[in-house]
Amino acid sequence: MPTCENCHHTWSWKQTIQKNFSLDPAMECSYCGAKQYHTPKSKVKNGLLNFIILLPLVLNIFFDIPWMILLSLFPILFVVVLSIYPFFMELSSKDEYFNLFKT
């Protein structure tokens, strides 16, 4: 679970999900009011986690999966990814960006 870098309070699962569904990249800590941001490492982890939802399409290439089963896997995998998403989230006080071209 994410921990505020300012007050070191651990966010609940519900708070983390609610804060993620806003368009503002800054998430305000409900305990100390400090703005928190995803770390670049956390953004990469959660971006890769989203590919799990598309896993049935890849499996369909190799195995002949019936369409009803294939379509029913999407909402199930979405719920699974949504439920484990906060456990991979890390917070920082600074808004950092992933730099692909480090020198």
- Give the separation between CA 29 and CA 59, rounded to whole angstroms: 40
Give 1-10 pLDDT, tens digit per residue. 888 878 888 8
Tell whether the model's pLDDT for residue 103 goes beyond 60. no
Per-residue model confidence (pLDDT) at position 4: 80
Please tell me the pTM assigned to this model. 0.69
Identify the residue with better confidence: 62 or 24.
62
Tell whether the model's pLDDT for residue 92 goes beyond 60. yes
Those residues whose C-beta lies under 8 Å from the C-beta of residue 11, and which sit 6 or more positions away, are 1, 2, 3, 4, 19, 29, 30, 86
Give 27-38 pLDDT, tens digit per residue. 888 788 888 888
Per-residue model confidence (pLDDT) at position 99: 67
Those residues whose C-beta lies under 8 Å from the C-beta of residue 94, and which sit 6 or more positions away, are 37
Give 41-66 pLDDT, tens digit per residue. 888 888 888 888 888 888 888 888 88
Mean pLDDT to the nearest integer, 78-94? 85
The region, left, alpha or beta by phi > 0 then psi within -120 to 50, assigned to residue 96 is: beta
